[in-house]
Amino acid sequence: MKIFLDTANIDEIREAADWGILDGVTTNPTLVSREGRDFEQVLSEIVAIVQGPVSAEVVAEDADEMVRQGEHLASLNPHIVVKIPMLPEGLKALRRLSEKEIATNCTLIFNATQGLLAAKAGATYVSPFLGRLDDIGQDGMELIGQLVTIFDNYALNTEVLAASIRHPLHVVQAALRGADVCTMPHKVLRQIVKHPLTDIGIEQFTSDWQKLAAAGQKLAIGAT
């Protein structure tokens, strides 16, 4: 499963990239607005760090304008993926952008039929929003399983991108159900690295090492 970061914060992206596990980034107008910086400059910096798919969302509700904005975003860098909302006009835009070989991410997917339509329209990714479904008492993970099965049944090339991730268990569940990608906030990425038993183990090893050093043993690793 590919790991994407759901943010527009450069420091967060750089940290994840330095870990060597970051495959891509997803952004949206809300995330970009929090940075208080020029949208295209932020995108340029993100792409330079990630060198992988970076989703950038159009801000329109009619197909012609979505396509115009999408073409402009795609022209900024080959790694840009144009994010299109699940609307009838969005489906039109997905098809037209797909025909131009522009990568797309259909966002705000909340049921399997929406995802199927987006895939048939040529979406590169579909983004089911798990956390928002959980918020209204529905099982977001069931949707992931449905989409993976449907796409496999019909050999659709669209990737299932698990979005609206709220906690580490969402990441595990999405992986178990076969999601191609999981995009998560920086907070969740840091949480999945941590475990209290790992911390305890490191503290114990360090303590024992220091006891040996205090006893006068030479402990410089690699020293001759």
Of the candidates 83, 92, 100, 187, the residue annotated as catalytic is: 83
Q: 34 near 6, Cβ under 8 Å?
A: no
Contact status, residue 22 vs residue 3, Cβ threshold 8 Å: yes
The angle subtended at Cα 87 by Cα 107 and Cα 47, nearest 5°, is 35
Strands 24-26 and 104-109, by their bridges, are: unpaired
Whole-number Å distance between alpha carbons of 152 and 131 = 24
Active site residue 92: no
- Which residue, chain included where needed, has tokens 């999408």? 70
* CA–CA gap between residue 38 and residue 101 (Å, rounded): 27
Provide the annotated active-site residues: 83
